[in-house]
Amino acid sequence: MESIIGRIKELSEDIGRPLNLMEVCGTHTVAIFRHGIRSVIPDKIRLLSGPGCPVCVTSVADVEKAIRISEEKGVILTTFGDMMRVPGVKRTLTDARVEGADVRIVYSPVDALTLAKDNSDKTVVFFATGFETTSPSVAATLLMAEGEGVKNFYIHSVHKLVPPALNALVSMEGIDIDGFILPGHVSTIIGVVPYRFLCNDHNIASVIAGFGAEDILKGIQLLMEQISRDQYDVKVQYSDVVREEGNPKAMQILTDLFKEEDAHWRGIGVIPGSGLVLRKEYEHRDALKLFDIDIADAGEPKACRCGDVLTGRILPTQCNLFGKVCTPEKPVGACMVSTEGSCAAYYKYGGTE
């Protein structure tokens, strides 16, 4: 590892200018803090957090829809634990549960399907969040429900796709990113090809890295070598896990059940083709087709700069609410909720840069 750190310092001197490197995945954000990566790399290398936390990017409107669904008569709303405290318009799913809604935490969509089997007199809805890592398991669970004839199981899909978000990000005004540390888990599913637009169209260095200290440092080295040579590609440091073609079986089941649609990302806005909705032949599993829910007001929390954090425009500590009005105990924005959220990581580990 010492040789990697030494090489990073050499490359920093060769390049000369400051660099903005963005880790897309929230797990990388936490790992960078936990391993003390910033303390061993040159100050000229600035590590930014990107829109890779699914809890953080779920829009206010989508959370509010889940809250409204949970309040429908005879509904059991199931969700991952991190989504319980994400603010909707005025409340969270935790608030809805306190007020009488039947909201339950599950650890997988299969758990939600089991609840549907055990509660045939109820309508069980799974709040389906996440990126390409989790969406194939939701698709597989829906096929299980179809095959077993479980008619009371539905989903509220707010699944997001990473490559369209990155494409939107690098096309925004005022965004200055020299290289991406790409998400390892997502890449096990989608492979390498969907990221190639970063090097081909934008001359941006990219590397798919693992989550250990040496993995991340090696990823930074690979990015800097590309920048130093002015030759850009998508390198794979996480080669024991990520294949060029990804996981074709997982991608096929995803394509069979879902189609791409424009989606709203919290603090960023609508990104074309970045969401997944059920295809027509599976629309009978869509909770929003079952309930008539109209969200009239779904603005961002006042003064919350989660969107600027997710796009790398500011660090969490540059938000006026950080650590004062907004804390993990009483989050204003979604970036402070999840353990993978940028603001939560900065708060926990005392990030100041």
pLDDT tens, the chain, 353 aa long: 899 999 999 999 999 999 999 999 989 999 999 999 999 999 999 999 999 888 889 998 999 999 999 999 999 999 999 999 988 888 999 999 999 999 999 999 999 999 999 999 999 999 999 999 999 999 999 999 999 999 999 999 999 999 999 999 999 888 889 999 999 999 999 999 999 999 999 999 999 999 999 999 999 999 999 999 999 999 999 999 999 999 999 999 999 999 999 999 987 889 999 999 999 999 999 999 999 887 766 777 778 898 889 888 889 999 999 999 899 888 888 899 888 889 999 998 876 55
Confirm or reject CATH 3.30.420.40 for domain 1-302, answering yes or no: no
Residue 73 is given by DSSP the state T
Contact 89, 219 (CB under 8 A): no
pLDDT, residue 115, reads 98
Predicted model pTM: 0.91
Write down the pLDDT at residue 26: 87
Angle at 112 between CA 115 and CA 300, to 5 degrees: 130
What is the model's pLDDT at position 268? 80
pLDDT for 351 = 60
Nearest to 166 by CA among 29, 340, 24, 343: 24
Strand order in the sheet with 205-208: 45-49, 19-23, 179-182, 205-208, 234-236
Residue 27: half-sphere exposure toward Cβ, Cα within 13 Å: 14
**Cα distance from N-terminal residue to C-terminal residue, the chain:** 24
pLDDT at 296: 65
**To 5 degrees, how large is the angle CA 233–CA 40–CA 231?**
15
Q: Which letter does DSSP use for residue 300 in this model?
A: P
Question: How many beta carbons lie within 10 A of that of residue 141, not counting itself?
Answer: 23
Of 274, 313, 276, 279, residue with least CA distance to 194: 274
Domain ranges of the chain: 1-302, 306-349
Under 8 Å between Cβ of 136 and 253: yes
Nearest to 130 by CA among 87, 79, 60: 79
